[in-house]
């Protein structure tokens, strides 16, 4: 849940999703690359799209004690099912209701993007918290990514009071997401906070490529790139930065933002269609966007940004226009020309859900 939590005041959803210009955390300790600019480029092509279905809500997931939840990061499990890893989750009459859990896992036994439907959950008949999190003092555990390498699943969490990340931590599961074991953690202030929110693309060269930002929509952040061998994912020292220094980009140099700094919402980085895809919530102006590029080290300053979801107001939704959108996680099985996204929505206590959208007209 990316707005007020039940335990105390937080920035409001309206404030966090407004399109006005935001505050500024400088790129602390990071060199500026050629072409770097704090100005967001205008988006490229505007795609068409439509809502496929609600993935969560009282009718869809209420029977699992999770009528109110968000994010729903979709990951294909080793057994072939699809797990949706959700954020702040409540039972009862709406957001802030009883039995606050985060994260939780909701399962679709059919992983085909055309046939997703939650028919199970981690915990048996009632969704349980995947890791210990008591929410003392308003803390929570927000998932930023979940992915599978071989027979092992990995989950990255941002821990602390919302938008005040104390640390992020990393977990693994060897039983299709039913139980999770702690691996490691990173301090919240690493790289000036720009290593808080991470997303992983699993490549076929033995590496995972990792993009990261600050986890705070009111803060201007760079986008950093690291790589880590798939057999060393739980070793923080094995994460190698990509940076620009001495007139050239190379691995092992101090990390440098790989695109224009901006206010980032959720980010999702995936290997797809023989290349790579990045989907994110853009804050100024507010929309969801995507980029497609051949290599993890491609020039994102010049890669076209294509709009996937546009904002609207309640009662005027249609096509790819969504009231209070966020998330935008790529559904496994997607292609550039047939992109499925898990899109979250929250504008009042009973409109807090994960939806599936299909986007057409995108180009490489």
Per-residue pLDDT reduced to its tens digit, 235-289: 999 999 999 999 999 999 999 999 999 999 999 999 999 999 999 999 999 999 9
- What is the band of 47 on the pLDDT scale with cuts at 50, 70, 90? confident
Residues with Cβ within 8 Å of residue 62, at least 6 apart in sequence: none
Which residue would you say has higher pLDDT here, 288 or 40? Answer: 288
pLDDT tens track for 163-208:
999 999 999 999 999 999 999 999 999 999 999 999 999 999 999 9
Contacts of 201 (CB under 8 A, 6+ apart): 208, 209, 210, 211, 269, 270, 271, 276, 296
Choice among 8-12, 166-170, 207-211, 217-221 with the minimum mean pLDDT? 8-12
- Separate counts of helices (H) and strands (E) for the chain: 2, 23
CB count within 10 Å of CB 351 equals 15
Distance CA 147, CA 199 (A): 9
Name the pLDDT band for 36 (thresholds 50, 70, 90): very low
Tokens of 31: 């060199």
Sheet holding 339-348, edge to edge: 48-54, 351-360, 339-348, 325-330
Measure the CA–CA gap between 322 and 311, rounded to whole angstroms.
5
Per residue in 114-133, pLDDT tens? 999 999 999 999 999 999 99
């Amino acid at each position: 849940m990316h707005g007020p939590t039940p335990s105390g005041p937080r920035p409001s959803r309206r404030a966090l999703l407004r399109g006005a210009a935001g505050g500024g955390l400088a790129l602390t300790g990071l060199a500026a690359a050629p072409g770097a600019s704090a100005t967001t480029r205008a988006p490229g092509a505007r795609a068409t799209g439509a809502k496929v279905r609600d993935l969560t809500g009282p009718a869809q997931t209420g029977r699992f004690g999770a009528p109110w939840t968000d994010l729903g990061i979709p990951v294909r499990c080793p057994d072939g099912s699809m797990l949706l890893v959700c954020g702040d989750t409540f039972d009862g009459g709406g957001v802030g209701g009883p039995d606050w859990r985060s994260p939780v896992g909701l399962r679709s036994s059919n992983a085909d993007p055309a046939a997703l439907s939650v028919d199970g959950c981690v915990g048996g008949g009632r969704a349980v918290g995947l890791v210990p999190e008591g929410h003392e003092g308003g803390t929570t555990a927000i998932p930023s990514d979940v992915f599978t390498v071989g027979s092992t699943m990995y989950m990255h969490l941002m821990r602390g009071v919302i938008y005040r990340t104390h640390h992020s931590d990393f977990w693994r599961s060897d039983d299709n997401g039913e139980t999770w074991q702690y691996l490691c953690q990173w301090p919240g202030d690493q790289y000036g906070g720009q290593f808080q929110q991470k997303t992983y693309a699993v490549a076929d060269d033995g590496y995972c490529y990792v993009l990261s930002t600050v986890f705070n929509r009111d803060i201007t952040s760079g986008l950093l790139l690291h790589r880590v061998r798939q057999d060393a994912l739980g070793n923080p020292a094995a994460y190698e930065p990509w940076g620009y220094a001495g007139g050239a980009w190379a691995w092992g140099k101090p990390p440098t933002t790989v695109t224009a700094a901006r206010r980032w919402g959720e980010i999702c980085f995936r290997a797809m269609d023989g290349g790579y895809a990045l989907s994110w919530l853009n804050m100024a102006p507010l929309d969801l966007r995507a980029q497609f590029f051949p290599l993890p080290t491609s020039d994102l300053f010049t890669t076209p940004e294509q709009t996937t979801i546009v904002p609207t107001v309640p009662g005027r939704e249609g096509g790819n226009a969504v009231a209070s959108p966020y998330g935008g996680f790529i559904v496994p099985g997607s292609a550039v020309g047939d992109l499925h996204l898990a899109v979250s929505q929250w504008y009042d206590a009973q409109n807090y859900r994960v939806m599936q959208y299909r986007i057409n007209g995108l180009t490489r």
